[in-house]
Structure 1
Amino acid sequence: MKHLLILFFLLTTNAFAQGPFGDYAVVKDKDGYVNIRAKENAKSQIVGTLPANTLVNVYFWEDEPTPPNWIAVDKGYVHKSRLKKVQDFPSIGRAKEQGNSITITGKGISVTLIKQPFDKTKHKITKKDLGGYDQLIIDGKEIYGGDDSLPQDHYKNITVTINGKNVPIPKSAYDDLYEIFYFSSSVYYDKEAEALYILAHNSENASAYEVCWQIVKGEYKGRVIGYPL
C-alpha cells in the first residue's frame, strides 16, 4: 500500500475512487502540466502528463514510510510538490442553512445547494444484483449515498453566481446524489486560476461518499466522486 495514493480522472471522461484520509488537490506547475513518471523518481520514464488545474483525489496512507514525496496515479507517479490541496485555497465564507437549502457566500460568490425529500412515485426504480446485495438504480443511474433501501432525500438544485453572473450547473452534476448532509458543505476559491470548488460529504457508514464540483472561469467543468474506506 502506498504512502500517498491518488486515483484520478480527467473530469469529462473518467471516474474517481477514494481511500482513507482523502483530500482533493489541483495540479499546479509553472510549465502548465505535470509529468507522470513510471517510478517514484524524477529520472524515471515519463508515461503521461496531467494538465494544470486538473482536479485529483489525494490519499494519505499512514503505514507506508516511503516514498514520502511521490503520489501514485493510475499509471505512474507525480511529485507532490506539483499539487495543491483544494482546502488550502481560501474559503469564500460561512454557510447559512435555511430549511432545505444551504447558502455559502463571500468574495462576490454565492453557492446555494437545495435538497428535497425523495418521492418514489416520480422516479423509475430498479435494482441490480451485485452478488450478495442489490444496487439501487434510479432513473437509469446507479446512485451515490444509498444501499438497497430507498433514500430519504436528494439534491433538487445547485445555483452558483460569480460577480452577479449565473453559472449553469447541469442536472447530471447532482441527480444521482442522495442522502444529503448540509453541515459538511464548503466552498473554496483559487483566485489565480479563477477556479471554484464546492465540496460535500454525504450519507454515512457504508454508503458515505464525497463530491467535489469544479467551476473554472465561470464554466462548470465536472465533478469528482469518492468513497472513504
Structure 2
Amino acid sequence: MRKLIVFFTFITSLFNTYGQSLDFAIINDKDGFVHVRNSKQLINDNIIDKLDNGFVINYFERDGLWIAIRYEKNDAEISGFILRDRLRDFTSFQEVQGRSEKSNEYKLFNRNVEIVVSDKVFNASEHSIMYYEIYKGVIERIEGKEIYGTDGDLPKREYNALEVKINGIKVVMPKGAIQNLFEPTIEYTVAYFDEKSQTLYIRSDNSDWSASYAVIWVIEKGKFKQRCVGVTRPFKGVK
C-alpha cells in the first residue's frame, strides 16, 4: 500500500510540474518575435519574456485568442501565454521519409538529411543518481537533472547517440541534447526539413508505460539550436 501511495504522489507531482501536452509549434509572428505574458492580457506589465521567430515551444490549454506555452531557456523552465495565431506547425515542412532500422539503431534520410538515432541499456554505474529523501527508492534526478521517461524507477534504456548530417556535413550535437531522456522509442522518431531556412526539426515520442514525453531537437544552418520537451499526464484521474 505504501508503494502505491508513493507512486501516485510522484505522478501527481509530475503532472503539477509539467502539465499535459505533447504538442509543439514554432514561433511565427509578422513582427519577428512574440512577447510571453504571465496573464491573458495585452498590457505592458505582464510581459515576462520575448521569443524570436523560429523558437520552438510546447503548447496546451487553448483559451479564445490565447494559448498557454512552456519552454526551456538558459537552463530555466518558463511558462506563460501568447496569442495563439503567432504559431506555425513544423509538420508543414518536408518530411524526411527515408527509413531503415537495425538492432538499437534507427535511420532517417533524404537527399539533404541523414539522421541516425540509437539507444542502449541503462547502466546505473555510469550515472549520478539522486533519490527523494522522503520517498525511498524513488529517483528525483540523474546527473542533477529532471528525468523524463520513468515514474521514478531506474530507467531500463537510454539514448546512445543522435548523429545528424545536413548536406553531407556532420552537425556537432552537445552532450545535453540527449541527456536525461530515458526509455527512448527510437522507431517513433520523425523529422521535417525547411529548405528555405535550412532548419531541421527532429521529434521523438518516448515513454515507459506511465511517463510519456516527447522531445524536439532543432538544428538551424548546420548548428544545434534548441531542445524542447513536452510531458503528458500519466493518469486521467490524477489532479
TM-score range relative to shorter protein: 0.7 to 0.9
How do 1:37-186 and structure 2 match up within 5 A?
40=40, 44-46=42-44, 47=47, 48-59=49-60, 66-67=63-64, 69-73=65-69, 77-129=81-133, 131=135, 134-186=138-190
Cα distance in 2 for partners of 1:75, 1:155 equals 27
Deviation at 1:40, TM superposition (A): 4.8
Amino acid at match of 1:175: Q
In the alignment, the residues of structure 2 paired with residue 152 and residue 75 of structure 1 have an alpha-carbon distance, to the nearest angstrom, of 30
Structure 1 stretch displaced more, 95-104 or 137-146: 137-146
* 1: CA distance, partners of 2:86 / 2:165: 30
Contact 2:59 / 2:68 at 8 angstroms: preserved in 1? no
For residues 48-91 of structure 1, give each alpha carbon's deviation from its aligned partner in whole angstroms, at most 9, with x where no partner exists: 53211111112256xxxx51x32234675422222101223221
Are the structure 2 counterparts of residues 154 and 39 from structure 1 closer, same or farther at C-alpha, using a change threshold of 3 Å?
closer
**CA offsets, 1:143-193, max 9 Å, x none?**
221233322211111100000111011111112111111221101112332
Q: Does the CA-based 8 Å contact 2:139-2:154 persist in structure 1?
A: no
> 1:26 corresponds to which residue?
26
- TM-fit CA distance, 1:212: 0.8
Unaligned regions of 5+ residues in structure 1, if any? 1-15
Q: Which runs of 5+ in 2 are unaligned?
A: 1-16, 70-77, 234-239
Q: Distance in 2 between matches of 1:162 and 1:198?
A: 13
Change (3 A) 1:97 1:70: same
RMSD: 2.6
Amino acid corresponding to residue 20 of structure 2 in structure 1: G
Q: Contact 1:33/1:49 (CA < 8 Å) preserved in 2?
A: yes
TM normalised by structure 1 equals 0.78
Amino acid corresponding to residue 226 of structure 2 in structure 1? G
Deviation at 1:131, TM superposition (A): 4.9
Change (3 A) 1:33 1:150: same
Q: How has the CA–CA distance of structure 1 residues 138 and 108 changed in structure 2, closer, same or farther, with 3 Å as cutoff?
A: same
Amino acid aligned to 1:198: I
Query: In proportion to residue count, which structure has more helix?
Result: 2
Aligned-partner Cα distance in 2 for 1:195–1:127: 38
Determine what percentage of the aligned residue pairs are the same residue.
29
- Who is 2:75 aligned against? none
SS at match of 1:129: coil
Report the count of equivalent residues. Answer: 206
Query: Would the aligned equivalents of 1:197 and 1:214 in 2 still touch at CA under 8 Å?
Result: yes
Output the amino acid matched with 2:59: V
**What is the one-letter code of the residue matched to 1:55?**
V
Distance in 2 of aligned mates of 1:36 and 1:60: 15
Contact 2:58 2:229 in 1 (8 A): no
8 Å CA contact 2:150–2:208 kept in 1: the answer is no
Q: Distance in 2 between matches of 1:89 and 1:18?
A: 27
Give the 3 Å change call, closer, same or farther, for CA 132–71 of structure 1 in structure 2: farther
Give secondary structure in 1 for the equivalent of 2:26: strand
